[in-house]
Amino acid sequence: MEKMPVFIKIDEYKDVLTLVQDLQSKSQEAKALLQKIVDLKNSEDTELESWRMGLEDIEAKIQTLTNALQDPKQ
């Protein structure tokens, strides 16, 4: 396709410029928000992982308790 010049009316041009600036600021805002969501997700993942490890620890302790109660000293 040939590159053709495009002419825009001045009043429209001002509107377009404002819109583009608005878009730019909004996309930056969205980027920051997304980063916040990613951070939250990461901390949620960390919490879940430590939760899982804690439960594994409890499981092992319950096993120890069960062993102690099931095989008492005769």
Mapped onto helix, strand or coil, the DSSP state of residue 13 is helix
Q: Any contact of residue 72 with another protein (CB under 8 A)?
A: yes
Please state the closest distance from residue 72 (CB atom) to another protein, in A: 4
**Pair 16, 8: CB distance under 8 Å:** yes
User: Which residues are CB-neighbours of 16 under 8 A, at least 6 positions away?
Assistant: 8
15, 31, 39 from 45: Cα distances, Å: 44, 21, 10
Q: x/- string (CB under 8 A) for another protein, residues 11-40?
A: -x--xx--xx-xx--xx-xx--xx-xx--x
Q: Which positions touch another protein (CB under 8 A)?
A: 1, 4, 6-8, 12, 15-16, 19-20, 22-23, 26-27, 29-30, 33-34, 36-37, 40-41, 43-44, 47-48, 50-51, 54-55, 57-58, 61-62, 64-65, 68-69, 72-73
